[in-house]
Structure 1
Amino acid sequence: MPNSESTIAPSTQSNRLLNDFKQLYQNLDESSISRLDQVYAAGVKFKDPVHDIEGVVALQDYLSAQSEGLTECRFEYLDELIGDHSAYIKWIMRFRHAKLGNRLISVRGVSHVHFSDKIDFHEDLYDMGALLYEQIPLVGTITRWLKARLSR
């Protein structure tokens, strides 16, 4: 559930679409991945720090591959700005992955989406270091040290 919301006069249709979008990612699993076509246009463009994907089928394939080994993946929505055809949604993703010691990992990020009747553009922005590099034993130690050093 959102802790606070900032809204820019969204239409009822925009609210409904974005609520459906957030529900799909609330607890990401194969069931929600199979329903992506309910909120995404067939030719959706998806970007994140690692991938640039085109098409809802390719997005389903990508998310299915990324979810292999996940024992938990959920999103907490913190804030949002919604217009008639675009939105920014700030979130925390919490997940456990077998290959990363199955401990709970939290990553903050923002999704930027464009839409009409369905989402046709989705870009996720997040700290790749917090998501992956900090979770690998030796690389994580170096990444955290560099971050601390740069923040002085």
Structure 2
Amino acid sequence: MMTDIPHNQFSPAPRTLPALLAWYGALSPSSLERLDLYYASEARFCDPFNEVCGIAAIRTVFEHMFETVETPRFAFHTKIGSGAQAFVAWTFTGRVRQHAFDVPGCTHLSFDEDGLVTSHQDFWDAATLWRQLPLIRFPATWLCKRFSAKLA
């Protein structure tokens, strides 16, 4: 059964959200050692390329990011929390083979009673990234144009 929350009123954001975002803001290969301070042992992580469960699998996703992206950074813009959930709007920047990119997106986070993330769902358009990378820029741009509406 859903609990009704009055319109335009939110319960407090999860207390651990500021610490989690500070950790992401300084994310590095060495900071992955602290993943278990922020994520529950069986947390689910999903983005356009991955859907995994468990801290070890989530760590593998981030290790892969550090192997393939130079200087990955997240800049946070909007944070909205209510009870055990939060939405965060961000921009992800980095370089792939010397080519800079920036991708806007948002994340839906769910927290347990201890303030640990149990579900992390990223929403972003992979085509936004692909159109910024030289090897696949042309086919990605062509596909986007092919599927876009033709306006008069």
Q: Into which bin does the TM-score normalised by the smaller protein fall?
A: 0.7 to 0.9
1:77 aligned onto 2:76: yes
Tell which structure's C-alpha radius of gyration is larger: 2
Q: Is the 8 A contact 2:99 2:133 kept in 1?
A: no
Cα distance, 1:144 vs. partner? 2.1
The 2-side partners of 1:108 and 1:51 are apart by 18
Quote the sequence identity (%): 26
Amino acid at match of 2:101: I
| Structure 1 unmatched runs, 5+ | 1-5
Tell me what 1:8 maps to. Answer: 10
1:82 to partner: Cα distance: 0.2
**Any runs of at least 4 consecutive aligned residues in structure 1 with deviations exceeding 6 A, and if so which?**
none
Change (3 A) 1:138 1:70: closer
Q: Which whole-Å CA distance do the structure 2 matches of 1:51 and 1:7 have between them?
A: 34
**Residues of 2 paired with 1:10 and 1:73: CA distance?**
30
Using the alignment, how far apart are the partners of 2:127 and 2:9 within structure 1?
30
Among 121, 125, 128, which residue is 1:123 paired with?
A: 121
Rate the CA distance shift 1:84–1:134 in 2: closer, same or farther, 3 A: same
Unaligned runs of 5+ in 2: 1-7
The structure carrying a bigger helix percent of its residues is 1
* Structure 2 residue aligned with 1:147: 144
Q: What whole-Å deviation, never above 9, does each CA across 1:76-131 have from its counterpart, x for those lacking one? A: 1111210110011111001123xxx3232100111101002211111111111122
The aligned counterpart of 1:104 is 100
Are the equivalent residues in 1 in contact too, given 2:46–2:121 (CA < 8 A)?
yes
Q: Counterpart in 1 of 2:4?
A: none
RMSD value over aligned CA atoms?
2.1
Matches within 5 A, 1:53-64: 53-64=52-63
When the two structures are aligned, how many residues end up with a matched partner? Answer: 140
Distance 1:134 1:64, change over 3 A: same
